[in-house]
Amino acid sequence: MKNAEGTSSGADNIEDDERRVLADVRSLLDQLQLDVAHELSLDSDLSKDLGVDSLALVELCDLLEGSFVVTLPDEVFLTATTPREWLASIRKAKGTDGQSVSSPFELRDGHEGVRIGAPTPGIFRRLTQEAQWQRQPRRIDPDGTKKYGPGRSGSHIVEWLHLIYSWLLLAPFALTVWTLAVLPISLKTRRRIGRFFARGLCRALGISLFLEGSLPSSPASFIVAANHGSFIDGLVLYVMVPEPLVFVSSVEIERQPFLGRIAKGYGCLFVERGRAERSAASVEKLVGAVHEGRRLAIFPEGSIGTGSGVRVFHLGAFETATSANCPVVPIGIRGTRGILRAGSYRPYPGTVRVVIGSPIAPAGNDFNARVALRDEVRAAIAVLCGESAIGSA
C-alpha cells in the first residue's frame, strides 16, 4: 500500500510538472501571439511547429527557471525542442529524474576542479594542440634555461596558422556580443546568450577552463576581487562564475565606441579614478549598487601587468566594502597570462583555473580597516593564483 501511495504521489508530481511547463509555454505563446489554434502539446516542436524563435526560447528558459526555482544550463535553449524535453532538463536540474545531479560549479572533495566545456574536435583541435605543444620547452638545463631543441623554427608556421584561425573566431564573436549589446532584449537574456557564445569560443580556441570552489550561497551582496594578468580575465570570470556579476570598469572604457557599447549593454558600472572628489563619488556609486543587491566584480590592481606577481591593490574596492559592510570574496585566476599577454594580439591555447576563496568580512569602516581588508584580500588572492605579492603595499 505504501509503495502504491508513493508511486501515485510520484505520478501526481510528474503530471503537476507537466501542467506547469505547458502553462509557462502557453503564457509565452500568448505573449508572442502564436499558436492561436491552441495546438500546443508536450511533444510540439516549439520552433518548427509553433514558430518560436531562439530569443524567445531564452525568455522561456528564464520563465521556467523562475517557475521551478532551478538553474538550467546555458545550452538548454538550443537542445530542448519540445516542452517534454524542457521538462526533462528541469527534472534533471532538480535531481528528480532518478539520477544524482550536482551543480557544475561545485567543488567536489579530492577533485582538481570542475571542467567547463570540452576541447574542439577534428582538425581545429589538432591545430590548437600543435600550437600548444610547440610552445613547450624540450628540456630545461640545470641553470634553469629553457631549450626548445630541433624543429623549433618550424613552429612559426603553426603559430601563424593558429593566429589566423583564432582571429577568424574572435572577429565574429566580437561582432556577435556587440549585436547582443544593442538589441532590445533583457539583460538576463543578453547575458545568457553571451555566455553560451563565450564558452563556445573558449572551446574552439583550445582553452580548457576549470573552476574550484563556489561563491557564497547567501542572498546577501558581496564584492568579488580578482588578480588581473590578461585581457581575457573578465571574459573568463564571465564564462565560469555562475552568479550574474556586475563588472566595474573605468570611464575610459565607457568612452570607447565599440568596447564601451558592449560594456554598457552587459551592465557594467563605470567609475572615475584620480582626484579625491572623483574617487569619493565613484565609491558612493558602488556602495549604492551594493545596497541595491548587486554583486560587484573588481580587479583591484586597476590595470594589467606585463610580468608575473600580484601588484599593489587600489583602495576603492575595499572602501566600498567597508562603507557597505559587505564581505569581499577573493578569486585567483591562473593561466590567462600564458594565453594572452598584455600588449599582445596573439592568443594561445592553454588551461585556465579560477579558484574561489572564502569571503573576508571587513573589521570596521575606518581607514585602518580598509587597509587591513585590502592586505588580507591581496594575500589570499596571491595564494589562490599561485603568484607572489610584489611591490609595496
Position 225 pLDDT exceeds 50: yes
Domain 2-94 -> CATH class: mainly alpha
**Terminal Cα-to-Cα distance of the chain (whole angstroms):** 70
Q: What CA–CA distance (Å, rounded) separates 195 from 336?
A: 18
pLDDT tens per residue, range 55-91: 678 778 878 888 888 878 766 766 788 999 999 988 8
Residues of the chain with CATH 3.40.1130.10: 114-120+185-385
Question: In this predicted structure, what is the pLDDT of residue 153?
Answer: 41
Q: Which of 308, 304, 213, 201 is nearest to 250 (CA)?
A: 304
pLDDT tens per residue, range 103-127: 333 333 333 455 554 444 444 555 5
Residues of the chain with CATH 1.10.1200.10: 2-94
Q: Which of 365, 277, 275, 356 is nearest to 320 (CA)?
A: 365
| C-alpha dihedral (167, 168, 170, 171), degrees to nearest 10 | 100
Instruction: Kindly give, in sequence order, each residue whose CB lies less than 8 Å from that of residue 175, ignoring residues fewer than 6 positions away.
Output: none
Report which DSSP code applies to 154. Answer: G
Number of C-alpha atoms within 13 angstroms, CB side, residue 306?
A: 2
pLDDT tens per residue, range 292-333: 989 999 999 988 877 788 998 988 899 999 999 999 999 999
Position 6 pLDDT exceeds 50: yes
Mean residue pLDDT of the chain comes to 79
Work out the percent of the chain whose per-residue pLDDT is above 90: 29
Least confident residue range of 236-240, 353-357, 375-379: 236-240
pLDDT tens per residue, range 356-368: 999 999 999 899 9
pTM value? Answer: 0.69
CATH 3.10.450.50 assigned to 114-120+185-385: no
